[in-house]
Structure 1
């Protein structure tokens, strides 16, 4: 197949490039519409109890509270006549909004639960209607219209789940533009130093841009039939740019190596496709296989990342395999044009550059060199012993975000936070006496501030003297119960309260559903934990199969898996030490909190796939030399001598695209960018440079072992980088010329 692509590129160069240009333009047009179709959120399991409670409340009671307007009296007295009059007018204006229902205001009846303890603030609760994109538009319209400084000495700020989503969406777009503005110029500068020529440096960026545009087009089309999270765009830009650069870097390096050896351009194109082209295809397959594990989870966020990740990997690989040989055929030796005038060509006499010398040292003293590195990685992984998990909330936003400020005020200044209440819905008729008994028992649970029902309000296991209850919470065929907690939202105590509430005996013949933010947290963690073994089995199993087909060994895939897990554990341990334990929080400007469950799963899958990417890069060259008859030490030393600079350059470039997200104002984006970038660098340096040679030295020839039946299977279906090797027209080029111009650049 790769030879056929090379021949097509050589015979139909201009036609192939014209068709590719038209395809890219089409992808750009389609992909431009993605940003108007992608949705916020998607962190909850749609089949969980909390999600079903939300659906029933939406159908029966017009939805849960998702917007909280915090009203502050500038003179410090929210009950002053002028403040009360203006507050009632605001409530009336909100009820006139066609997108708002269930508007409950302190100014209606003076409910003390909706007034701050110091008397200078009050809240108005409401539900904003709409599905996904429509909801986002409606929320923004309400916030723009009804918040800010009002006549009458009132200041209104927006909080609640929908306002948090609005702030997140706005901040994500700003952060994405900033990250791209940082990453693209830095990557171009680094590519100039890697290739020492402007033409060669621009080609990887071209492949990266094509991968991003193609994936945005894919997401735009998918958004027509299913929910796709806007966060998938972050992965698309970082991974598209990184993998596009990776694959192009590998192919350009091999092509220039052939030119430097005196090979004619057509044969150099063919050899590049037979070798580097095969490596790119297998590398893409391993990364895509790792990301496929994300599709087993029901959360739209994780599935969206899976869609984006698989799409960007495959599009980057196809772009590299189709465009690069055509560009090689068109440019030929001109790929070295634009040489940097201040960079002198390095001498080409040493066949064992840094990476080769490092590999030789490690293989001769594996214990002395590998054990300290392994010890450091295990120490870095140690914080995982105390890791705790949670879900994203307003704390991922900067403290300047209005929705976060409102949430903080509700927790600190009010007796119980209505925004984080547990919402219980009973979709059956319930008698008044049975409902009162159920509410009394709920109000007696530890951490409960009050329980509100249509029959009354209850505190500490007894009715509260606040009137007959809220009639809006009851219907002939269904009842709602609001359990307002005095606990810190998403804390261990709040999670325990969810379990306690669900354990309370319900009214006879009823099946209550418990929802709310704390219930959603419990359900999300349970959902991911239940499916994690399946996702891990899919990721590991598919990767082991692919690596066996690539290497023909049953030992190499297991060795690769073990070492990759060590590097990932170290990277996850470091981000746990930073983002959960709070180290560097003042420098990076985030609030420490439990590790976001969904983000950790996403980061693990992405980093695992990229680790396997470099595994294929290195192992392919080692296997090529091994199959040519080299002894184990020579195969590893020369293999790393050829690929070490590619892997280190590729890792540095893709790490830049992820590290750019550390500039984000959203903490989970900072965590993802920093953690993934660290995982890439740890893998490229510590694993590929030290632990792989040490493991290969310890394993010896056993590293390539496979039972007879599996070896015969590999002989029939396997694929390796080398493929059929034609007679070489020139001697093997020196190892240190790998990422160097073939024309003296």
Structure 2
């Protein structure tokens, strides 16, 4: 750190000019990122369900429609007038740029499966050119044709339509969240930093981190898919960490100036102390977030790409550009004061008093705090996991209304069947008959006809069910594709596999199961990675064996409380006064829970290092454990609390989103950070360290030589 300190004090303007040029270049490169992002990414590319999708396309030329339309008439669909209306509509849609094919109840032979229970509604399908912007094409169709065509009411859904609606909602919500979060965080910054000039310093770090990450993400999109949801993490984490790190550095700079050091020496000392803390903190957060790359779903990988990039860039901006600017500004950093108060740090104050109070009764504080966290965690016992579908959008959204209409008016989920493929030569007749007997199955379509309740109800040769190497079955469900009954159908079919049959199951229901299994199978390795590297980094930083273990245990407690609270809110519909209205599916998104847990864990380590850096510094200066904790918290408690409050406000703004899983991300991350900064850092840490005494700093002799020296 001494070399960096020497560079930023002796080449301040050169550092700032270089940093500014890099930000400009990255801004220019990053402008293309938004049009390159996608809204899917929940599937495991190595799963059976994805293999089935490839087989259906390659061998059966079975391409899923991009847009599905449920067309509702005031009378029976078999009337000639309704057929004419449908054909006119589809001819008009077929003329739209990017549309390759259309089909409907009529063109597919008028099967009952494509007609509603009352006979007044039917399915139509639209296929788009995959080499073009399918979401944009879907948007044009939706905008042009709306909800009415002559006498018919139109309900649009399908992957392209749902993706467009989610992407549009997120883009609009991001602007709304930023309009709420940025002014509020700036007001908090004014209070915390004490002057207009100092309050503006985090922009130097935040803008570089956010705009730089846009450029990095754009580069990544040239090689792989990236989820649009990562944008929320970039802005939230970029703004939050920029403020957090700037607060730590500015506070330390003021402290060093108050001790009598000149500007250059104060900046150098700040880089060597606070800069070192930021470097370790950023490394810890990045090592935690990089674990997201272990998951096969690109939705989670995207947050890994975005999270690691924004943290690394925030750290670089903090240890290079920010100290260089402080060196140029000198004491002008405190110009334009908003409040007439002494900005110099004090050795006695609220945090010293609170810490002293806690350490006089540590066991009572530990018991009370743990009981509170376990109470918050209690609802986790009833948690039910789900995935993203159109119901993450508001109840009045076009695709949600379409989904509700289909559930209410049609017998089966025609557009989202369970697909089964087996090796040629398998006994497809017996397999189709057995599957059609399962609870939750409306019927099974095979090469020799349609099976219902174990019988061949419609003996007719169906085309497109046999290839050179495989036979396929189409299983139409009578239950919701994400329901437990649908999961049971997939599980039962997979259990019917026999040697030489090579039975594979695909479709949305199977994809959901495969995605959940991929997360479940990967999670133990991710948790082991996080625990190991968190332990190693904290040991290297503190030289203690006990403090890393303490940090891991307390993090598990606070995360359990957070997930319990999320379960209480989003599976039972509580606290709508806080999060707004949403469609309660009785589930929480598995991927979002994983993301919140990893993100909150990383940020909690951020604050752990903020706190321990000052406690350790006081202990190394010769104070005993009690005084080290009291003085350390007095010097860092205000920083940790302010940093947590600011980043919580940034993420809490996501609760204003109309997309449910963004609400979950915002509330979960904000709550986890607030619990960590209050109950954990303010109460449990000092109480635990008081009880542990001198053992806080213990490590075996052989391990002590691995501790990094200042």
Give the structure-1-normalised TM-score: 0.91
- 1:188, 1:205 within 8 Å by CA — same for their partners in 2? no
Aligned twin of 2:490: 498
Tell me the equivalent position of 2:316: 318
Aligned length: 706
Mapping of residues 302-451 of structure 1, within 5 Å: 302-340=300-338, 343-345=339-341, 351-426=347-422, 428-430=423-425, 434-451=427-444
Please give the alpha-carbon distance, in whole angstroms, between the structure 1 residues aligned to 2:511 and 2:164: 19
Cα displacement string for residues 117-152 of structure 1 (whole angstroms, at most 9, x for unaligned residues): 233321113444516x744344334444555322x3
What is the 5 A alignment of 1:614-633?
614-633=607-626
Alignment deviations for residues 15-71 of structure 1 (CA, whole Å, 9 cap, x no partner)? 211111110000101111111212221111000011111111122224234431111
In the alignment, is the contact (CA less than 8 A) between 1:435 and 1:455 conserved in 2? Answer: no
The 3 A distance-change label for structure 1 pair 194 and 693 is same
Name 1:737's counterpart in structure 2: none
CA distance in 2, matches of 1:314, 1:349: 29
Aligned match of 1:300: 298
SS of structure 2 residue aligned to 1:170: helix
User: Of 161, 164, 175, which aligns to 2:162?
Assistant: 164
Q: Which range moved further: 615-624 or 563-572?
A: 563-572
Counterpart pick for 2:481 among 454, 465, 489: 489
Do 2:94 and 2:102's aligned partners in 1 also have CA atoms closer than 8 Å? yes
Pick one of 530, 551, 554 that aligns with 1:563: 554
Deviations along 1:671-713, one digit per CA (max 9) or x if unpaired, are: 0000000000100011010000011011000011000010022
CA distances 1:552-585 after superposition (whole Å, capped 9, x unpaired): 0111100111111111111111111111222124
1:170 is displaced (CA, Å) by 1.1
1:347 to 1:217, Cα distance in 2 relative to 1, 3 A: closer
- 1:196 and 2:194 are equivalent in the alignment: yes
* Cα offset, 1:350, TM superposition: 6.5
Contact 2:204 2:317 (8 Å CA) reproduced: no
Distance 1:651 1:107, change over 3 A: same
Cα contact 2:439–2:485 (8 A) shared by 1 = no
- Tell me, what secondary structure is at the counterpart of 1:457? strand
* Contact kept? 2:252, 2:274, Cα under 8 Å: yes
How far apart are residue 479 of structure 1 and its match? 3.2
Report what 2:448 is aligned to.
455
Counterparts of 1:679-698 in structure 2 under 5 Å? 679-698=672-691
Partners in 2 of 1:180 and 1:80 — Cα distance? Answer: 52
Please list the CA deviations of residues 334-380 of structure 1 after superposition, one character each: whole Å capped at 9, or x if unmatched. Answer: 0011111xx23159797321111111111110122232121111100
CA distance in 1, matches of 2:147, 2:388: 26
Give how far 1:185 is off: 1.1
SS of the residue 2:69 aligns to:
strand
**Could you tell me which residue of structure 1 aligns to residue 662 of structure 2?**
669
Equivalent position to 2:538, from 541, 544, 547: 547
SS in 1 for 2:464: helix
Residue of structure 1 equivalent to 2:183: 185
Bigger shift: 669-678 or 170-179? 170-179
Query: What does residue range 22-421 of structure 1 map to in structure 2 within 5 Å?
Result: 22-60=21-59, 61-73=61-73, 75-93=74-92, 103-108=102-107, 109-130=109-130, 134-150=133-149, 152-340=150-338, 343-345=339-341, 351-421=347-417
Residues in 1 aligned to 2:622 and 2:466: alpha-carbon distance in whole angstroms = 80
Partner secondary structure for residue 51 of structure 1: helix
Question: TM-score scaled to structure 2, two decimals?
Answer: 0.96
Corresponding residue to 1:650 among 604, 625, 643: 643
- In 1, are the aligned partners of 2:258 and 2:344 still within 8 Å (CA)? no
Q: Does the residue aligned with 1:472 lie in a helix, a strand or coil?
A: coil
Residue 589 (1) aligns with residue 581 (2): yes
Partners of 2:249 and 2:147 in 1: CA distance: 56
- Closer, same or farther: CA 348–279 of 1 in aligned 2, 3 Å: closer
The residue number in structure 2 matching 1:6 is 5
SS in 2 for 1:344: coil
Secondary structure at the residue paired with 1:420?
Answer: coil
Instruction: Tell me the C-alpha RMSD between the 2 structures.
Output: 2.0
Shift of residue 513, structure 1, vs aligned partner: 2.0
Q: Which of 260-269 and 640-649 deviates more?
A: 260-269
Which shifted more, 496-505 or 537-546?
Answer: 496-505
Gaps of 5+ in 1: 724-745
* Partner residue in 1 for 2:528: 537
Instruction: Tell whether the 8 Å contact from 1:457 to 1:469 is kept in structure 2 after alignment.
Output: no
Q: Is the 2:254–2:345 contact (alpha carbons within 8 Å) kept by the matching residues of 1?
A: no
Unaligned runs of 5+ in 2: none
Cα separation, 1, equivalents of 2:230 and 2:317: 20
The CA distance in 2 between the partners of 1:698 and 1:10, in whole Å, is 43
- Residues 173 and 658 in structure 2, CA contact (< 8 A), matched pair in contact too: yes
Shift in CA distance, 644/554, structure 1 to aligned 2, threshold 3 Å = same
**Are residues 278 and 81 of structure 1, via their aligned partners in 2, closer, same or farther at CA, if it must alter by over 3 Å?**
same
Partner Cα separation in structure 2 for residue 474 and residue 86 of structure 1: 34
| Cα gap change, 1:338 to 1:362, in 2 (>3 Å) | same
Question: Which segment is superposed worse, 255-264 or 282-291?
Answer: 255-264
Q: Which stretch of the first structure deviates more once superposed, 215-224 or 114-123?
A: 114-123
How far does the alpha carbon of each residue in 1:467-509 deviate from its partner, in whole angstroms, 9 at most, with x for none? 6254234445443321111112212121111101212357x84
Give the Cα separation in 2 of the matches to 1:615 and 1:459.
61
Asked if the contact 1:659–1:673 (Cα under 8 Å) also holds between the matched residues in 2, the reply is yes
1:287-311 per-position Cα deviation (integer Å, ceiling 9, x unaligned): 0111121111111111111011011
Offset, 1:527 = 0.9
1:160 to partner: Cα distance? 2.1
In 2 relative to 1, CA 475–99 (structure 1 residues): closer, same or farther, beyond 3 Å? Answer: farther
